[in-house]
Amino acid sequence: MFWDKIEIIIGDITEQKVDVIVNAANTSLLGGGGVDGAIHRAAGPQLLEECRGLSGCKTGEAKTTKGYNLYAKYVVHTAGPVWQGGCSGESGLLRNSYVNSLKEAAKVGAKSIAFPSISTGVYGYPLKKASKVALGAIGEFFDLGVGNNIEKIYIVCFDDNTYKHYMEGLLQLKG
Ligand code: APR
């Protein structure tokens, strides 16, 4: 089952030795704080140079750049939704961010991909809800049958509380 490919870990996404890391960016793709800032710092200035040429990214969409000084060969940038109370289509947009990021990773032949907890920081998406959407989206992606090349998906949590929510979500999936 797809969930055997998922591993929830605590760590810094910029240190992950995977083919693709996903950036929780904003729609400008011109950098920011949080994981966006960490990835740009670790990748170096060429990342921003390449992002400048992408003319932004709509919420829920995903665009790919090289990884530059990162171990990862590629960075997939996605803009997750800002939480506005749950009645503005946030869950569908968050799902799109995960599915579209996985589609981008599959396009470049990635075998391993690391996600941060998209939208649960500055964008305020409640962790319990976000973790369920994230895991459901990953399952949906594999149901599309285009993800056979992807062998490992890490969700890299930056703190224990985030880790707890994703672990609970994964254990519920496994039943
Ligand atoms: N590695 C892994 N996870 C990290 C790291 C890191 N180095 N740094 C932060 N995080 C975690 C945060 O603790 C949070 O759990 O990533 C998760 C997402 O938080 P944010 O980075 O704030 O992203 P998000 O909530 O999607 O908001 C995006 O923030 O940084 C700006 O430019 C970004 O405007 C965009 C907005």
Is residue 10 scored above 90 in pLDDT?
yes
C-alpha closest to that of 82 among 133, 27, 33? 27
Is residue 14 scored above 90 in pLDDT?
yes
Determine the distance separating the centroid of ligand 1 and the alpha carbon of 35, expressed in angstroms.
Answer: 4
- Confidence at residue 84, expressed as pLDDT on a 0 to 100 scale: 98
Cα dist from 88 to 82, 84, 85, 123, 146, whole Å: 10, 7, 7, 14, 29
DSSP letters spanning 18-45:
SSEEEEEE-TT-S--SHHHHHHHHHH-H
Give 24-74 pLDDT, tens digit per residue. Answer: 999 999 999 999 999 999 999 999 999 999 999 999 999 999 999 999 999
Active site residues: 36
What pTM was computed for the model? 0.98
The DSSP secondary-structure symbol of 13 reads: G
- Confidence at residue 128, expressed as pLDDT on a 0 to 100 scale: 97
- Confidence at residue 136, expressed as pLDDT on a 0 to 100 scale: 96
Mean pLDDT over residues 134-147, rounded?
93
Atom of ligand 1 nearest to the CA of 38: 7
Give 92-103 pLDDT, tens digit per residue. Answer: 999 999 999 999
Is residue 1 scored above 90 in pLDDT?
no
Q: Is 26 in the pocket of ligand 1 (CB under 6 A)?
A: yes
Determine the distance separating the centroid of ligand 1 and the alpha carbon of 36, expressed in angstroms.
Answer: 6
The chain-wide mean pLDDT, for the chain, equals: 97
Determine the distance separating the centroid of ligand 1 and the alpha carbon of 106, expressed in angstroms.
Answer: 23
Which is more confident, 77 or 147? 77
Read off the tokens for 170: 């994964």
Is residue 146 scored above 90 in pLDDT?
no
- Cα–Cα distance, 85 to 25 (Å, whole number): 20
Is residue 133 scored above 90 in pLDDT?
yes
Read off the tokens for 32: 């920011």
